[in-house]
Amino acid sequence: MKHGVAAFAVAAAVCSSLALISGCAKSPEIYAPPEYVSWRATTDVVLNYPIPGHMNRFRLPRMNDLGFSAVPKTVGGKLHWDFPEDTVIVKEVYATSKPGPGDKPIQLTIMAKDPGDRRALGGWLWYTKVLPDGKETLFPGNYCITCHANANEQHPYGDGNPNEEFRDYVYFVPGEKPPMPGPHPEATGKGR
Amino acid sequence: MARSRKRFLSLTLKVDLILIATLAVGVGAVMAAFTISLLGSSDRLTRENLAQQGNILYTSIQNFMIPGDAPLAVKFFGAVSIASPNYSIKLYRRDGINAFSDNATIDTVNSNQTARKFARRLVIPDQPAMPNRPGLEKATAVPPEEVFFRDDAGGKSYFRSYKPLLNLPKCTICHGSDHTIRGVIDIRSDVTSVIAIQNLTLGAGLAGFFVVVGALALVLGSFLRRVVLDPVKQIGRVCTAVAGGSFEGRVEVRGRDEIGSLARTVNTMVEGLYERFELTKYVSSGTIGAIKEKRQEPKRVGRTLFFTDIRGFTSYTESKMPERVVEVLNRLLDRQSEIIQEHGGTIDKFVGDEIVAYFQDEDGPNKACRAAVAIARFCAERLEENDGLAVGMGIATGTVILGMVGSMRRADFTVIGDPVNVASRLCSIAKGGQIIVSDATRGRAAGEFAFRGPLAAKLKGKAALQKVWILTGSAVPEEGS
């Protein structure tokens, strides 16, 4: 009996250690389930103008209902967005700037709000999934968040965040005003 | 079946090899781990330091750069390189060309925005040949990767990092949106002196390793040789000597440890073997054989009994000095014993000047007669040397009882029975040089020997007269006689 208890304790200790070593105490999770296609888009703007990282590939960002329930606070006279935990934004990336009706996305980029996860950057987990057969993979480094950090300051997309509100790294927040008149990214040419 | 042949390796060599291998693996593993850890730590520290510097520079550029100030950053990087000769920061466009070394960027920015136009450079310095930039592809790929590498050039060693500069959305207004990577920050740190110290440490460590291993091998080898190997060799020599019949050697007992205990045990064993060996001189071979074969039960067997006795020995002892008596007696007994054993006989016992022996097998009577003839010849040839002493002999053949006779404390494996008594009586009536045999013995040896008789003899303990014969020699005359 004592041997059985000891063996169980050793096995439990080994499993715990392995879990800690692997850094994945959580069970594997799918952030973009098949029904994500029914989630609402975060903007009406047609996102087919060239941007760094995706060029002029057509993008369609969708967010789960939890994300749409977010209400910004006012901090220092400015709106301050803090999307609730478990908010998921799935951005479909298509192969061309004008996909046909039957075309499928070639890639999903995913933002999952999970500030408690030690791998989170800016409170978000940044995933990518190459379609059709790829798995959701945590994007290494700070490539994604470096660009998305611009969402919290003035930028050339959507309303341009003229008041430099903290928008929680999200370029198109719910209820965002239409794009401001002025130079549009589509107007820009080749650069250095 | 083929037998495997193993090369002979002495114990000393084996122990030395094991010691060196153990030390080399043990100390070497620690040294290797230490060295790898040292080099790895140094590399990691430098790498992390460069990464941190890259991040600070990048963050500075992101947060403090006002549009149009990038050339100032390049100028600042140049000033840093001048102030710190072992350290340089450079800014490359994504194609690897030094930033702002021409008007390409200024022209692009001017064409993309209308609010402010930047002045073109009027003097363009000569462009050096595009240097090889290993790892630039990785640093400018999408997604990019921060690249670290070691660069050895001009006799110096550098650690370098390529920190990718992203074309952030806010930058696209001036620089366009058709690219993701603007360029890279190249941070180069001269680590020649660090590498030299590392190499020196490594060399000193290796030298120390060999010195320590050599010294430890010598010390431990010497210690083991003195404490273990030499005593073992000595034990081997003593055992070899014992196997060769010499019991004089002893192992020197040096300590109270296991080896010392073994040495004491071997010495005790050799002493015991010596005592047993000496005892074999006083105990009949039959007794020794019985002890060896653990046979204690008596049994009836056919034997030819052979008795010899020196005639006139009692009066001889009274007329001679004891030393002379013992000398002559021992010579006679010794030679008789040799002759009996040479002919396959077993010495059962010595009783004063008398020898009791027996012969087994079918031709026991012949062997006994041959031995008797040889003894008679010896005594005749050495009569003068033995002060005229001669030996009388009696031989009888028949069934005897063979077994342990005596008490629990002292016993002999001997023979008893009528042939023993008969042979004894025949010996007692034989004159010096005379061999008297029983009728049964003569009947089996008649083909080989000549006998005179039969004679009727009155033997003590026998009511009837016994038919006896006097052995006169070989039936066939010996060559030359």
10-residue mean pLDDT profile of chain B (481 residues): values are 61 77 82 82 84 82 69 80 85 85 82 76 67 85 89 87 89 86 89 85 83 82 81 86 86 80 86 78 65 73 92 87 89 90 86 89 89 91 88 93 80 84 91 90 86 85 86 64 37
pLDDT bucket at A68, cuts 50 / 70 / 90: very high
Q: If interface means Cβ-Cβ distance under 8 Å, which residues of chain B face chain A?
A: 93, 104-105, 107-109, 111-113, 142-146, 166-170, 172-180, 182
Place of tokens 């000549």: B450
Q: What is the pLDDT of residue B110?
A: 83
> Do A192 and B93 lie within an 8 Å CB cutoff?
yes
- Rounded to whole angstroms, what are the CA distances from B419 to B61, B302, B395, B439? 129, 10, 9, 11
> Do B167 and A191 lie within an 8 Å CB cutoff?
yes
The residue length of chain B stands at 481
Write out the H or E segment, with its range, that includes residue B64: helix B11-64
Q: What does the alpha-carbon distance between residue B314 and residue B259 come to, in Å, rounded to a whole number?
A: 56
- Nearest-CA distance A4 → chain B (Å): 37
- Give per-residue pLDDT as tens, A87-139: 999 999 999 999 999 999 999 999 999 999 999 999 999 999 999 888 999 99
| Chain B partners within 8 Å of A157 (Cβ) | 169
Closest CA to B403 of B295, B314, B278, B478: B295
Task: Tell me whether strands B411-416 and B156-166 are parallel, antiparallel or unpaired.
Answer: unpaired
User: Is A160 touching B (CB cutoff 8 A)?
Assistant: no
Q: What is the pLDDT of residue A186?
A: 40
Residue A188 has pLDDT above 60, yes or no: no
A53: nearest CA partner in chain B: B180
Q: Which residues contact B208 (CB under 8 A, 6 or more apart)?
A: none
Q: What is the pLDDT of residue B66?
A: 65
Query: B411 or A184, which is more confident?
Result: B411
- Nearest-CA distance B26 → chain A (Å): 28
| Chain B partners within 8 Å of A150 (Cβ) | 168-170
- Choose among A146, A154, A156: nearest Cβ to B172: A156
The per-residue pLDDT of chain A, averaged, comes to 83
